[in-house]
């Protein structure tokens, strides 16, 4: 059964993303030239107005043009959340290029892999990770330019020869009469985030200008017409400040910052999650609509720091990226009584962020992930037979519409496995739609591990473990963790009995980001359970991990 969105269609993106955003910024800068667009939650003096953001976007575009960065090129941003992020994105897309974001916590190994895979021509790197970026860039001959983004409250350090300070970029004279780049909104890549899809190592997700602009229109319409009026009839929430602490390189964080600038609100940026700074920002900026991930719900419900501050401005808590438990949601509403609604949304990188957004209705049951937004279709599919299922029946959630990605970069087979010949994207999540149109996610087909809402593909860690000379075979699963959601646990077959858990932990720790480390522990076993096809039978490993947990065994002694 194919189910269509109950909401009216919005305009599908038919103009380039950069032009749409620049036009919105120009309108805001005329209507409210002194309004703060973005401000640092860590340093309140570090802020930019809408007029300044507009001018910076044009300056970045002029700089890129001078460097012959043009249609089809890719530029990476490797930085924590910062005020410079969006002008760089806008400048890249105005020139017909694509932006690919990466975590500033990525290692040289991870950055090299992404730079090489997307064939980056230019990198904007924060000074906190500049040395790592430069080491990775040396292995990527296509990278011709590296720009250094300064840290707040710190002078720009002496830069290696050839590295350009960001101040030189924004000093470029904006070209107000620049000639437009010929962009095909349906086929040209605007954003190239990396995701693991349902399984496997990270892959470049090709999101077109049409994808991104349609998503902007969908979210704006949903919030203005279907969500906010039910919470705040005066619609003042749309003009309030939003807290931006979710990583901008992640599609959830990216969509929050772009949607704020699109509608003309103020974004309070946190470069990293710090307990006190987070709570102080909510208190001082009187955040009313707080967008989070489940570990933050847990923090607000249980951590003593949350009780040190006045968080009574918060009226709505919206969580996404992973399910939030009923008990924790109820507890956070007791701790912060001003919270009237705890709602969930659903989406993924491959659908340009959100496919289902929170909806307030008398018929809503707890645990729903909202309703399908404008222009989209969904169906629930039996993962074994491929048969379409009906209302209330559980199966794999499939989505179709104008925000579905073009595919994975240079991976036609992976794309074909994700999107069928009728345009249906297989999410890898098991769920059902109730009689009132609400989506419920109940399980995952996909093997991804989610740590604090961030993806950790088992295949990535397994491939790394295979490079250790003392490891014969390995498999990685996620084990539950109350604070972080899940932690990776490795099951390892030793080729040499002298291999210790510490050796394995240290080997992984030196090569991947902190959230990908084996905090679930290491278990040494004789053989990895596999099907005749060679596929790892992870359910047996999960059973083993659960038995270990119940027995209270210490992983390091196994």
CATH number, position 78: 3.40.50.980
Res 39: pLDDT: 98
Give the end of a domain, one of 208, 240, 265: 208
d(CA 373, CA 215): 10
Of 131-140, 220-229, 305-314, 336-345, give the lowest mean pLDDT range.
220-229
482: pLDDT confidence band, cut at 50, 70 and 90? confident
Res 207: pLDDT: 99
Residue 308, SS3?
coil
Of 27-41, 85-99, 319-333, 389-403, give the lowest mean pLDDT range.
319-333
Judge whether 171 lies within some domain.
yes
Of 151-160, 226-235, 379-388, 494-503, give the lowest mean pLDDT range.
226-235
Res 360: pLDDT: 79
Q: Which residues of 151-177 are buried (b: 16+ CB within 10 A; e: fewer)?
A: beeeeeeeeeeebbbbeebbebebeee
Neighbours of 532 (CB within 10 A): 5
Give the end of a domain, one of 181, 208, 235: 208
Pick from 436, 432, 488: which is nearest to 460 by CA?
488
Of 200-209, 359-368, 395-404, give the lowest mean pLDDT range.
359-368
The token pair at 335 is: 């701790």
pLDDT single digits (tens) 31-68: 998 899 999 999 999 999 999 999 999 999 999 999 99
d(CA 34, CA 45): 14
pLDDT single digits (tens) 194-250: 987 656 678 999 999 999 999 999 999 998 888 888 777 776 666 779 999 999 999
Res 531: pLDDT: 64
Res 78: pLDDT: 98
Judge whether 178 lies within some domain.
yes
Say yes or no to pLDDT of 323 above 80: no
Res 532: pLDDT: 54
Judge whether 532 lies within some domain.
yes
Res 61: pLDDT: 96
Domain that holds residue 475: 449-551
The token pair at 243 is: 């807290």
d(CA 329, CA 340): 11
pLDDT single digits (tens) 248-285: 999 999 999 999 999 999 999 999 999 999 999 999 99
Average pLDDT over residues 450-468: 87
Q: Which residue has the tokens 């991990």?
A: 545
Read off the DSSP letter of residue 520.
T
More confident residue, 462 or 327: 462
Judge whether 39 lies within some domain.
no
Judge whether 56 lies within some domain.
yes
Please state the pTM of the whole predicted model: 0.85
Judge whether 335 lies within some domain.
no
Average pLDDT over residues 436-450: 85
Say yes or no to pLDDT of 557 above 50: no
330: pLDDT confidence band, cut at 50, 70 and 90? confident
Res 197: pLDDT: 61
Average pLDDT over the chain reads 91
Judge whether 501 lies within some domain.
yes
Judge whether 436 lies within some domain.
no
Say yes or no to pLDDT of 13 above 50: yes
Res 556: pLDDT: 44
Give the end of a domain, one of 167, 188, 208: 208
Res 298: pLDDT: 80
Instruction: Indicate the pairing of strand 316-319 with strand 341-344.
Output: parallel
558: pLDDT confidence band, cut at 50, 70 and 90? very low
530: pLDDT confidence band, cut at 50, 70 and 90? confident
CATH of the domain at 522: 3.30.300.30
> How many domains are contained in the chain?
2
Res 536: pLDDT: 82
């Amino acid at each position: 059964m194919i189910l269509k969105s109950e909401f009216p269609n919005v305009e599908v993106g038919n103009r380039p993303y950069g032009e749409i955003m620049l036009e919105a910024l120009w309108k805001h800068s005329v209507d409210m030239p002194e309004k703060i667009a973005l401000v640092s939650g860590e340093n309140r003096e570090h802020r930019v107005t809408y007029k300044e953001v507009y001018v910076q976007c044009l300056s970045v575009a002029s700089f890129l043009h001078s460097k012959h960065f043009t249609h089809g090129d890719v530029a990476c941003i490797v930085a924590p959340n910062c005020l410079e992020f969006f002008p760089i994105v806008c400048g890249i897309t105005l020139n017909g290029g694509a932006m690919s974001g990466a975590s500033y916590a990525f290692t040289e190994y991870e950055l090299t892999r992404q730079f090489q895979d997307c064939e980056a021509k230019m990198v904007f790197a924060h000074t906190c990770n500049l040395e790592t970026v430069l080491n990775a860039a040396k292995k990527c001959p296509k990278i011709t330019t590296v720009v250094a983004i300064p840290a707040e409250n710190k002078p720009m350090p002496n830069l290696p020869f050839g590295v350009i300070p960001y101040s030189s970029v924004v000093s470029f004279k904006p070209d107000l009469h620049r000639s437009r780049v010929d962009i095909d909104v349906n086929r040209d890549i605007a954003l190239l985030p990396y995701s693991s899809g349902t399984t496997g190592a990270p892959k470049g997700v090709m999101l077109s200008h049409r994808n991104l602009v349609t998503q902007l229109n969908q979210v704006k319409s949903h919030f203005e017409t279907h969500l906010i009026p039910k919470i705040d009839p005066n619609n003042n929430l749309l003009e309030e400040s939003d807290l931006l602490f979710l990583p901008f390189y992640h599609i959830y964080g990216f969509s929050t910052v772009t949607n704020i600038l699109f509608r003309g609100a103020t974004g309070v940026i946190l470069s990293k999650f710090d307990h006190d700074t987070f709570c102080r920002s909510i208190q001082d900026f009187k955040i009313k609509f707080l967008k989070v991930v489940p570990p933050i719900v847990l923090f607000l419900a249980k951590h003593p720091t949350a009780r040190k501050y006045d968080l009574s401005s918060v009226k709505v808590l919206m969580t996404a990226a992973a399910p939030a438990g009923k008990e924790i949601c109820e507890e956070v509403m007791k701790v912060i009584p001003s919270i009237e609604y705890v709602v969930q949304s659903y989406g993924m990188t491959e659908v340009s962020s959100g496919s289902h957004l929170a909806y307030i209705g008398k018929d809503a049951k707890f645990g729903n992930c909202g309703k399908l937004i404008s222009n989209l279709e969904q169906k629930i599919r039996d993962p074994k037979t491929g048969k379409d299922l009906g209302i209330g029946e559980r199966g794999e959630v499939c989505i179709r519409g104008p925000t579905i990605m073009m595919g994975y970069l240079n991976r036609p087979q992976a794309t074909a496995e994700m999107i069928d010949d009728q345009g249906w994207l297989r999410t890898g999540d098991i769920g059902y739609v109730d009689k009132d149109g609400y989506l419920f996610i109940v399980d995952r087909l996909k093997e991804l591990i989610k740590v604090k809402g961030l993806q950790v593909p088992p295949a990535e860690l397994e491939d790394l473990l295979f490079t250790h000379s003392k490891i014969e075979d390995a498999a990685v699963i996620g084990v539950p963790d109350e604070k972080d959601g899940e932690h990776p646990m490795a099951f390892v077959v030793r080729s040499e009995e002298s291999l210790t858990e510490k050796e394995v932990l240290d080997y992984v720790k030196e090569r991947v980001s902190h959230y990908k480390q084996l905090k679930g522990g290491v278990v040494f076993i004789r053989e990895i359970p596999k099907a005749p096809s060679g596929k790892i039978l992870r359910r047996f490993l999960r059973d083993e991990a659960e038995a270990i947990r119940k027995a209270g065994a210490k992983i390091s002694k196994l």
